Amino acid sequence: MVERNRPLNTNLLKQIFSFPETINEYAARIVAFFVLSMTSLFLYTENIYILYFVAYGFYARVLAGPTLSPIALLATKVIIPTLGEPYKVCPGPPKRFAQFVGLVFTTSSIILIHTGNPQEATYLLGILIFFAGLESSFGFCAGCWFFKLMMNWGWIPEKTCERCNDISLSNT
């Protein structure tokens, strides 16, 4: 007989739905490469399911870090170990913000496509491809850079990301 009043395992939920304090920059760059590739593939094929998958990936990474994102799991569990576990640490909160920006761009593109505005969606996706290219090729995360600016302006409390101030602009 199945126990129906069994409490949820809150530790498991916290483990799944938490964003890491630090991120492996190389894994983030691999994820950005997949975003760039899949978004480009969408623009070439116009297969909306590819764009849904990219948007889901952003949603999953914002909500739960790499634990629910197929691309992030591939990067962290398969590709990085195959490369010999290269690791360069970067703070998690700016990366989460950058994932949120990607989510806004892909979700807006999907809405634009479904409302008969595919050209505007193409512009947004072109911007997404550009910034994913910067991240994957050069390790420059524009969302992280803007996150740091917002901290400097006082829009984001410094306690949100105390490590952010210690990491140079080239590592964010």
pLDDT tens track for 60-102: 999 988 888 999 999 989 999 998 877 788 888 889 899 999 9
SS3 label, residue 42: helix
Out of 12-16, 98-102, 157-161, the most confident range is 98-102
Query: How far is residue 154 from each of residues 122, 145, 157, 160, 171, measured CA to CA in Å?
Result: 34, 14, 6, 11, 21
Residue 171's pLDDT is 42
Q: Mean pLDDT across the stretch 8-30?
A: 72
| Coarse DSSP helix, strand, coil percentages of the chain, rounded to the nearest 5 percent | 75, 5, 20
Q: What's the pTM?
A: 0.81
pLDDT for res 15 = 56
